[in-house]
Amino acid sequence: MFDIPKEDLMDKNLAQLRELAAKLDHNIRKPNHGGCCVVAVEIAKYLRDIYPTKIRVATDFDDYADTDVEDAAQRVYDHADGIEWNDNGIYFGHVIVEFKYKGRKYHMDTNGVKRATGIDPTFGWLLYPGELPFKSAKLLADQDNGVWNHTFNRNQIPKMRLLISTFFKNAQLTQP
């Protein structure tokens, strides 16, 4: 578990995002076990209009952690095909949102919002260099293509999308 600095705990914008993460974690069963790409895409879709935002990929295969996601994206023909991404050195252990706020980078998934490091804050896996292009992430998130953990029930996706869209409609996130 990563400690959250006091100044981050006191920040109203970060507190709102932590509330969204908690709401998703409470209302969606096992979102980080097969639904993480959907979560990342849906949050990034709205958050990128407020803060500089990227979608990042973590791997539990340390031998592949130096593969650049953006370089691999150039070699992938069908961006919706998770197996083709695997064939190009990208193994989707976890997908998270990274955003820049007040000069710092943060990582977000349904476990919360934490200052960015070189590892995924939920599972402790290494993050690949580079970002997953939003369009590629969206194509992958929309597929049940064999690379996502089947612990996550994809029938929850409409509810997840509604929770996220409602949050951003009502949130009062501001620029620093």
Left (φ > 0), alpha (ψ -120 to 50) or beta: where does 130 sit?
Answer: left
Point out the least confidently predicted range of 17-21, 55-59, 61-65, 108-112. 61-65
Q: Is 116 helix (H, G, I), strand (E, B) or coil?
A: coil
For 69-81, how does the pLDDT look when each residue is reduced to its tens digit (9 = 90+)? 999 999 999 999 9
From the CB of residue 124, how many other CB atoms can be counted at a distance below 10 Å? 12
Once rounded to an integer, what is the mean pLDDT over residues 98-117? 94
HSE-CB for 33 with a 13 A CA cutoff: 8
For 124-155, how does the pLDDT look when each residue is reduced to its tens digit (9 = 90+)? 899 999 999 999 999 999 988 667 888 888 99
Give pLDDT, residue 1. 42
Q: Residue written as tokens 């290494």? A: 126
